[in-house]
Amino acid sequence: MQSQDIRTYLQPGKHAHLVGIGGVSMRPLGLVLHGAGMKITGSDMNSSVSTEDLVGQGIPVLIGHRAENIAGADCIIRTAAAHNDNPEIAAARALGIPVFERAQAWGVIMQAYRNALCVAGTHGKTTTTSMLTQIFMEAALDPTVMIGGYLPLLGAGHRVGQGDTIIMESCEYCDSFLNFFPTIAVILNIDADHLDYFKDLNSIKASFRKFAELVPENGLVVANGDDENTRRAMNGIQRKVISFGMDAANNVYPANFSRGFSSFDVYCGGQLYTHLDLKIAGQHNTCNALAACAVAQYMHIPGDVAARALGAFTGAGRRMEFKGTINGADVYDDYAHHPSELHATLAAVKSMHYKRMICAFQPHTYSRTKALFDDFVWELQAVDIAVLAEIYAAREQNTIGISSRDIANRIDGAVYFETLPEVTAYLRSIARPGDVILTIGAGDIYTVANHLIR
């Protein structure tokens, strides 16, 4: 189905059934469509805080996927994890009920806004989308927002505003961001990931190129000028491009650092835009802030507004999120699930000068673990104690025959546990003052941090 077809179904009074409605992108989609006067129902594999919230706001949610759940629906909108063998998808196809992807629905929604800010990149999307949200909220521009995580300022990962701007985290998996209509496309970086879908790095770069070319000729591409893959993907593109990065050759760059990478001046086009004092550590977050400032300056938001907003930003949920202490050890939780993200997080923590760095890592998907196995081993060798939890399957079956134990076997002193309660018990037993304990991964490893603090 093409995006123009879905418009006839996203109308007040129409009934859309959302498969996987509890997901971070599906839940706000359901709420936005519900608020627009549509009849929304949904289903999910498990009951959760998200599904309970939907029910509380008047959206019926069925637990478990069954053909009868789609009764009366005019169309189906599915999460990327719901394939054609899902009972509800199969039933819809048999009945001739159109099935759309969630990205197609968001694409239609964003066309109602004058400014569509789409933040893409292999790493840093959630943090940068959150930073932009913080800036636009501080500027009282009342944006509509969709973040693939939790932002404390919003008390959620989304909001429905009345302004003329929508800020969207935009994921490349399954080329989903190619359904969007950005007026400003932010490309933070391009790396080898999602190799269960993309053939290789060149196909990933080609996808990002297509995404940037969705920007109209009077729009803007904000691109990482320090990242070779991004530079090559954007080479010769017929759009206005603003580059950002640590190198002063970029259009937007930092200078006059103090306190590591957290305090610095931001220059745009050779002119001082603002001075930032960030509460979040790491050079990667400096780059995320530069990307956000590039957009803000282009949108004529004063530098002092950006400085106030980013100075108050304490991070998105699960992005180096401080959880508390146990036995004198500080506990942080992070969403990193790619070696480059792992490297950035561990480098940021190293600058905090703890006596011991203990990392409990849960790899995400079997295909990613296999494709990037040696890189994971290399990064985890940098910690004092590596604790490996079993791989989080997500949308996959373990047809590869791979385990986190294989990673642990390659790292001196590493330990492996099959279950998360075992990980929790082990971390509790070794925690001592001067330690930092990191729970890292995109699956349910965050529950370990929660149980430790409880």
What mean pLDDT, rounded, does the chain reach? Answer: 95
Which one of the listed residues 41, 51, 101, 125 is annotated catalytic?
125
Place of tokens 């930003």: 313
Distance (Å, whole) CA 277 – CA 254: 12
3-105 has CATH 3.40.50.720 classification: yes
Please report, for the chain, the start and end positions of each structural domain, with discontinuous segments joined by +: 3-105, 113-312, 321-453
Q: Which ranges of 139-276 would DSSP assign to H, the alpha helix?
A: 201-213, 228-234
**Does the annotation mark 125 as catalytic?**
yes
Determine how β-strand 75-78 pairs with β-strand 99-101.
parallel
Distance (Å, whole) CA 335 – CA 296: 26
Q: Per-residue pLDDT averaged across 404-419, rounded?
A: 98
Which one of the listed residues 88, 101, 138, 169 is annotated catalytic?
169
Percent of the chain with pLDDT over 70: 99
- Provide the token pair at 218: 């009077």
321-453: CATH topology = Protein-Tyrosine Phosphatase; Chain A (3.90.190)
More confident residue, 23 or 246: 246
- Provide the token pair at 303: 């530098």
- Provide the token pair at 309: 């907003």
Q: Per-residue pLDDT averaged across 352-380, rounded?
A: 97
- What one-character DSSP code corresponds to residue 321? E
Q: What is the 3-state secondary structure (H, E, C) of 369-430?
A: HHHCHHHHHHHHCCCCEEEEECCECCCCCCCCCCCHHHHHCCCCCCEEECCHHHHHHHHHHH
Rg of the chain on CA atoms, in Å = 22
**Does the annotation mark 68 as catalytic?**
no
Place of tokens 């971070």: 24
**Does the annotation mark 355 as catalytic?**
no
pLDDT tens, 420-453?
999 999 999 999 999 999 999 999 999 999 999 9
Which one of the listed residues 79, 126, 165, 345 is annotated catalytic?
126
pLDDT tens, 105-117?
999 999 999 999 9
Q: Classify domain 113-312 by CATH number.
A: 3.40.1190.10
pLDDT tens, 241-284?
999 999 999 999 999 998 778 999 999 999 999 999 999 989 99
**Burial of residue 68 (number of CB atoms within 10 Å: 0-12, 13-18, 19+):** exposed
Distance (Å, whole) CA 69 – CA 389: 35
